[in-house]
Amino acid sequence: MTERTVVKIGSSSLTSDEGGINRERIRFFSDELASLHRMGQQVLLVTSGAVAAGFKSIGYAARPKLLHEKQAAAAVGQALLMQAYQEAFSAHGIGVAQILLTRADFSNRSRIGNAQKTIEELLRQRMIPIINENDTVATDELKFGDNDTLSSLVGNLLKADRLLILTDTDGVYMEDPRKNPNAARIERVDQISEEIMRIAGGSGSSVGTGGMRSKIEAARIAMRGGVPAFIGRVKDSGDLMAAAQGTGKGTYFAANLHTLPVKKQWLGFHSATQGRIVVDEGAESALTERGKSLLPAGIRAIDGEFHPGDVVEVVNLAQRTIGRGVVNYTSWQVQAAMGLGTDEVKRRIDVARIEVIHRDEWITLK
């Protein structure tokens, strides 16, 4: 069966410090990707760099900070970026296609389904889809964040065999290698623990390296979808092939412990939440440890307005997210029923089912 590889490359690897495209680097990465393509693999590229590529051409002296200026720079830079990729891949006789996505596309099942079919057809025709966030329309609160999350969602959507996230560091270290040259690199991760997140730059961490947390978060999403991930460096010819074959310069994240169905992937990572429900310790335990549904008795507070069929975020008393689920109640019904036992809820409120969130419509994210 044809293997499918998603490769994510960040802005710093593709553009110069002064702004504009580094065509030498784009040719290098295109050569590396072409080598996978020649082996018969289906290759998808998730690229950043539109804003960095365009701000100098549009006339800005430095990378813009205002949203509308970033979007204008992206509008110019995206065309330049695709032109550079097209020229680089044409040297190998490989065609490319542009796919621009936003988080809202993943939240809408119909839209992301159409995008999936388009990408599948491009791969069938032996094209390389080049995927980027649609920066010209995305708002700050809905952005993916350096495209790391986007790459993991694409990997899960397309049921990729692997996700390769390229960075300027050769993997995840127990300490910041810039401060401690003897820091040990983590070769393999089977489950992402609190310690791994602390190393990556979690709350209160003093050893985190810039940008590594978002990459580990992306690896976590990929793992939950059954896609093994790699975070590491591709600097020399052949490095990308080595990364794809399991001998790369970086850290590997295994997916053998994770078999999350597509429906749960959408619920946990693609859907847009319409509100928040706060639950007590008993309900938290029932949801996350005992595989039970959420009943009104365990709810302590709500936030936002929602309706049956909407996705809501569920948090514990410490305001930490424990998961997401599809609600069977309107927000006012939850407000009226919270804290009450089942019999009392049935007497007071006309609801189709007693569970506020059924366990089949729930995913734990704790």
pLDDT at position 205, please? 35
- Do the annotations mark residue 364 as ligand-binding? no
> What are the tens digits of pLDDT across the range 180-211?
888 899 999 998 888 888 877 743 333 333 47
Q: What is the pLDDT of residues 272-299, one digit of tens each?
A: 899 999 999 999 999 999 999 999 999 9
Share of the chain above pLDDT 90, in %: 64
pLDDT of 101 over the 50 cut: yes
Q: Establish whether 135 is an annotated binding residue.
A: yes
Give the burial class of 54: count Cβ atoms within 10 A of its Cβ; 0-12 exposed, 13-18 middle, 19 or more buried.
Answer: buried
Q: Is 210 annotated as a binding residue?
A: yes
The radius of gyration computed from the CA coordinates of the chain, to the nearest angstrom, equals: 22
| Residue 30 labelled as part of a binding site | no
Task: Give the global pTM.
Answer: 0.81
Cα separation, 291 vs 170, whole angstroms: 39
The SS3 assignment for 272 reads coil
User: Is residue 8 annotated as involved in ligand binding?
Assistant: yes
* Architecture of the domain made up of 4-262: 3-Layer(aba) Sandwich (3.40)
Task: List where CATH 3.40.1160.10 sits in the chain.
Answer: 4-262
Q: Is 293 known to sit in a ligand binding site?
A: no
Q: How far apart are CA 318 and CA 11, in angstroms?
A: 36
213 annotated among ligand-binding-site residues? yes
Residue 271 assigned to a binding site: no
H or E element at residue 157: helix 148-157
Gap between the Cα atoms of 295 and 29, Å rounded: 52
pLDDT of residue 259: 64
**Residue that has been written with the tokens 């839209």 in this structure:** 111
In the chain, residues under CATH classification 2.30.130.10 are: 272-364
CATH of domain 272-364: 2.30.130.10
Scan for tokens 């089942």, then name that residue: 342
- 300 marked ligand binding residue: no
Q: Is 147 annotated as a binding residue?
A: yes
The annotation status of 152 as a binding-site residue, yes or no, is no
Distance CA 96, CA 300 (A): 52
